[in-house]
Structure 1
Amino acid sequence: MAVSKTRAEVVALKEKSVFVPDENLSSGLRLQLAAALVLVVLLGVGCTGLLVWYYTEGPDVTTQPGPTEAAANTDTAETTYSSYTMASVSTREKAAIHLEVEDFSKDDQLKWQDSSGSAFARGGLRLVDNDIVIPESGLYFVYSQAVFRVTCSYDTYVSHKILRYSDSFDAPLLIMFAIKSVCQDTNRQNGEVKFFEHVYLGGVFQLKKGDRLGTTSYWTLDVQTDSGKTFFGAFAV
């Protein structure tokens, strides 16, 4: 049988079922809730900042090159570097000159040329009035060779020398010289041509701008004028 309750009894029962925390417990809950709220806000700000960085400054995962593209980029970089290196070398081309004998005269002078065979001139070194003209002060390797055809009808010798002409000296300065005795008694047989003899000179010298280098030789009438036999040159070091 249902038991009916009065309104007053119902109200009293509800009041008994409601939990009313004491003052201290309510204050602690409020602090915990506030701390949790602050933590949630901080996490939200941090995540937002991370997302902003990822899409603005982070790695571009959508444009990463594959193996083929990476290889192509590497080849392009190497080609660019190689082109730069070659251009740099060409702008730093050292002065050099190599002369070949063109003719000779009876006054111990070889006539040089710089425009045929293996002859060349670059970087400021040039041939003027049969002398090499120095374009800038510095160290230069100077060299020359003369090949002679020797006829041993009498005792003789061959010689070859390089002279430096400079405003610093009153007279030409001998910087290299070589002499060889080429005919002895055993080599003289009825004036026949017995052999070829060569003289080579080479060394490093401190030269000044405007200095000139020239050669003189003895026995020039028999100097060999074939390409590669008799030459004269210099280059900056």
Structure 2
Amino acid sequence: MAVSENTAEVVGLEERSVFVAGQKSSSGLRLQLSAAVLLVALLGIGCTGLLVWYCTRGPDVTTQLGRTEVPTNKVTAERTYSSSTMASVIIREKAAVHLEVEGFSKDDELMWRDSGGDAFAQGGLRLVNNAIVIPESGLYFLYSQAVFGVTCSYDAYVSQKILRYSDSFDAPRTLMFSSKSVCQDTNRQNGEVKVFEPIYLGGVFQLKEGDRLETTFYWTLDVQTDSGKTFFGAFAV
């Protein structure tokens, strides 16, 4: 009987041991599951916050061909575009010059000016030694007008031409020329009648950098120098 009682006590002790071990194993598993759930929750919150930051405050444009674009707002972009556009307009100012009569030289040559009144010069076209100088090769529209005041006591005619001087050739070339008779028989029969006749020249030409343009007149002293009557100019096309 003593053996049986001892055996029963041993068996009871083993059962209690198994029960306690089972309890400890179950508690550890629950702790591990709780930690895993907490870790997943924290990761979810972190990812959500990162996504919200990217959508609200992140860069508009990221890397392109390995280069990071600097984000900018709409107002800054519009101002930058406006500034660059104005700079481009200033840089690309059309080459143009319009000359008016300054007076006559000692040799009775007509002298020009590129400022004052309606005269101006811009975009590289300029007046040098009474000639228009071409700043760069290209197409240019040339024009010139002269109004002649002739007293018709004799048969007379007037003329105007535009000459091109260039390093490409030795002698100057005539680009445009025009002449006309200004005194008809009826004018001469009525005595010394003064007649005003305009001559206008205009055309497009292919010119080279450094070319020089000049005008000549016949008779020069008959050219009217009032504003709007006689002028000379060119502009790039």
Give the TM-score category using the shorter length: 0.5 to 0.7
Q: Distance in 2 between matches of 1:220 and 1:187?
A: 21
2:191 is aligned to 190
Task: Describe how 1:191-210 pairs up with structure 2 within 5 A.
Answer: 191-193=192-194, 195-210=195-210
Shift of residue 227 of structure 1? Answer: 1.5
**Alpha-carbon displacement from aligned partner over 1:167-197 (angstroms, at most 9, x marks no partner):** 222211000011122111122321022x421
Q: Distance in 2 between matches of 1:176 and 1:121?
A: 22
Task: Describe how 1:153-192 pairs up with structure 2 within 5 A.
Answer: 153-188=153-188, 189-192=190-193
Shift of residue 162 of structure 1? Answer: 0.2
Q: Distance in 2 between matches of 1:152 and 1:76?
A: 70
Q: Distance in 1 between matches of 2:75 and 2:49?
A: 35
- 1:125/1:134 contact within 8 Å kept: yes
2:131 is aligned to 131
Equivalent residue pairs, number: 188
Task: Describe how 1:23-102 pairs up with structure 2 within 5 A.
Answer: 48=45, 51-59=48-56, 78-102=78-102
The answer for unaligned runs of 5 or more in structure 1 is 1-39, 61-72
Q: Would the alpha carbon gap of residues 219 and 233 (structure 1) be closer, same or farther in structure 2, given more than 3 Å must change?
A: same
Q: Distance in 2 between matches of 1:87 and 1:138?
A: 23
Worse overlay, 195-204 or 77-86: 77-86
Partner SS state of residue 210, structure 1: coil
2:227 is aligned to 227
- 1:108/1:216 contact within 8 Å kept: no
Does residue 213 in structure 1 map to residue 213 in structure 2?
yes
Partner SS state of residue 186, structure 1: helix
1:63 is aligned to none
1:35 is aligned to none
Q: Would the alpha carbon gap of residues 75 and 48 (structure 1) be closer, same or farther in structure 2, given more than 3 Å must change?
A: closer
Provide the identity percentage: 71
Shift of residue 58 of structure 1? Answer: 2.2
